[in-house]
Structure 1
């Protein structure tokens, strides 16, 4: 079995127990009341919950079993030691305004990334905005539909949203998707016209739906028809919001340490950084931000420590590589 074969462990983790299960009642209630909660109150609640989970977390930030090389794995292109995939979810107008500065930071150090944009959220995504990034060698993906926590409320509502999401995918010439809040159901996602999904992770007990894929490698999710299959790209570095806004880390030691572990095992380093949370130009971060220098320092660490050893594809290039390998190309 090649890496391109779906992971039975991962698929089992996401198989719905019943047709209508999409998200828990507790999560559903939280997202109903979230708009009415002050920001400070939301962060306090999340920090209390995260600190409680941190006490019990045994497989975070590293799950040793997730580092097992899949049977038949033949390595990365050009004999690279590991892969590095950079992604960004844009939550609101502030994040949209910071995308160009973030892209410029990455381009300065020789990196490329994808920006996942909300089609029907609190900002307008113009064709000119998308074109700017694709012309510069970056990628645009679809981030949920409205990012209000309701996508997986039921199978019926998901299928209704899928029609609109597929329309935006076509309009944007996008091939990738990531759900808001990392909600996921790998079965239901077969409804989307995508080459890849990036709504899962190897291990992350802090997410509202904490069931992990248990692997640091991409894998194919297969449907009954060839056109129903897609590549799943789990993120493998802890999310920026978790580290810097909730756990209030002051350094990027966790990102660097896990990158070293991922590189040693030849896996995929996939990170999700939100431009909304980045404080650029030495400005003092607010309660919902962290110093952008932490991310830039991480990029410099990878570039200098692993020069010539990593492959930095766009997510669509990663999915094409994995799908092509399955097809025997």
Structure 2
């Protein structure tokens, strides 16, 4: 359907059909995308146009949507417009943190559009949390990293009350963070909507893509647990009972070394009853991903337990993460990122409530605030935050993935709140109540499938063709 002279991450992610072609750019480093055989086009800069010192990576606003990356100065964009030809008008403003106008999205009467940024770069900057480099000074990021590493080294020696006092004090500082917002941050998905609307305006027709969930499910609800210490291992049946009574199954992530002994019989029993078992780091000291050398020392033992437990998934202790190191783990999926996590030891968030790929690793972000943060750090006393976020994700067709701990069943609010959350959606036939390994397998099949037009009809071809749906974005020609 489309032809493009550059990679377009939005289409790759949503599986919109397009073909890469070689063509002379209208300006050096400028990529273009258009419906095959038509003249209206979308233009954006690639690295060749973004490598000068002028478009330094920073944080911007596209109208009210925060963006993070490089924006080409408006003077250079205007030179592109003259080379492309036609009558152009500025549409959406691009402003810096101080509110100063630095550029604009430009549009032509035929729907052609020029972006002053590379949308693929901006999308990756959300997913990877690289935006954090642009919204806080490098020195502050360095100090935060030192404090986090120092805390995890000292934590085994600290009484529980001291640990909690430190975390609560830290959460009060983190609550002042302006991005991402909590409990819902829509910036990345607002940017997706902007790009879909822009491309639909160029094409003047609905844009086909592969649906986000298999069969007729409209959203996903995924239950996961981390078992941190001996107490959590002993209390596991209490949360398990709540799930079985409500008709759910979940994933249980165990720590292989030093915390407790995981009986092979328990792993087998969980698997026989439809539950999943994953690996929760090496020994829960928060250092697995602190450096390549540390990961290489620990990885053989982590992989041994993954094979022993037939584990496909990994979650890093403390949800500490590194986009550079995680693909080396060798798991099918990871679930250490959170969509918005201002209160966690490694604050940030990937800003999406959908799975995505980190190289060949499927990332399943946590999208419902974990129990310890909600009840112990922030002081909530019921499931309201969970329910409101889950309903929002249902409305938006997202994935509600929750992390709870059997270690904290002694909290007076956890078990009853969790029970009410599960009962709220127990009879929801639109929800895919899936194990994380099933979501990961689906996302991999979807990512390896494509759309093909046959006799004027779009169909899915590839590993997901028997379960995937073809969906369409609404045509939306933007006007002044």
What range describes the TM-score normalised by the shorter chain of this pair?
0.7 to 0.9
CA RMSD of aligned residues (A): 2.4
* Residue of structure 2 in register with 1:294 after alignment: 417
* Residue of structure 2 in register with 1:49 after alignment: 170
Which secondary structure state, in structure 1, belongs to the residue aligned with residue 268 of structure 2? helix
Higher strand share: 2
**Segment of structure 1 superposing worse, 60-69 or 211-220:** 60-69
Confirm whether residue 64 of structure 1 aligns to residue 186 of structure 2: yes
CA distance, structure 2, for counterparts of residue 144 and residue 16 of structure 1: 25
**Segment of structure 1 superposing worse, 258-267 or 53-62:** 53-62
After the TM superposition, which parts of structure 1 deviate over 3 Å for at least 4 consecutive aligned residues?
2-7, 14-17, 55-58, 66-73
- Alpha carbons of 1:4 and 1:117: their partners in 2 closer, same or farther (altered >3 Å)? farther
CA distance, structure 2, for counterparts of residue 107 and residue 4 of structure 1: 34
Confirm whether residue 322 of structure 1 aligns to residue 453 of structure 2: no
* Residue of structure 1 in register with 2:332 after alignment: 195
List aligned pairs for 1:267-286, cutoff 5 A: 267-279=398-410, 285=411
Larger radius of gyration: 2
- Alpha carbons of 1:14 and 1:181: their partners in 2 closer, same or farther (altered >3 Å)? farther
**Is 2:371–2:414's contact at 8 Å kept on the other side of the alignment?**
no
CA distance, structure 2, for counterparts of residue 43 and residue 115 of structure 1: 24
Gaps of 5+ in 1: 223-228, 280-284
List aligned pairs for 1:1-329, cutoff 5 A: 1-3=11-13, 8-13=124-129, 24-57=145-178, 59-68=181-190, 72-222=209-359, 229-279=360-410, 285=411, 290-304=413-427, 307-328=428-449, 329=463
**Is 1:221–1:230's contact at 8 Å kept on the other side of the alignment?**
yes
If the length of structure 1 is used for normalisation, what is the TM-score? Answer: 0.87
CA distance, structure 2, for counterparts of residue 252 and residue 156 of structure 1: 41
Instruction: State the Cα distance separating 1:55 from its structure 2 match.
Output: 4.0
If the length of structure 2 is used for normalisation, what is the TM-score? Answer: 0.61
Higher helix share: 1
Structure with the larger RCO, 1 or 2 (CA within 8 Å, 6+ apart): 1
- Alignment deviations for residues 169-190 of structure 1 (CA, whole Å, 9 cap, x no partner): 1121111000000111122112
Gaps of 5+ in 2: 1-10, 16-119, 134-141, 197-208, 450-462, 464-480
